[in-house]
């Protein structure tokens, strides 16, 4: 049986942590930042965890993580 392929887009966007959670960065922080408020941009800094409702699809994209 051949190996399953990891989705290249997923491996660039997600990091699997030791406890089983998946870390992700926030959306809407890349461009067109002039019209966004300072508060909005500040709250989009850092990382957050993938929600439980999306975990099944993220795990399918990262079979060996």
Q: What is the pTM of this model?
A: 0.85
DSSP string, 10-61: HHHHEEE-TTS-EEEEPSS-SS--SSS-HHHHHHT-SEEEPPGGGHHHHHHH
pLDDT for 50-61, tens place per residue? 999 999 999 999
pLDDT for 11-47, tens place per residue? 999 999 999 999 999 999 999 999 999 999 999 999 9
């Amino acid at each position: 049986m051949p190996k399953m392929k990891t989705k290249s887009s997923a491996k660039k966007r997600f990091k699997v942590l030791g406890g089983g959670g998946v870390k992700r960065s926030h959306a809407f922080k890349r461009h067109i930042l002039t019209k966004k408020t300072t508060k909005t941009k500040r709250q989009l800094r850092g990382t957050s965890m993938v929600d439980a409702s999306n975990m099944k699809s993220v795990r399918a994209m990262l079979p060996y993580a």
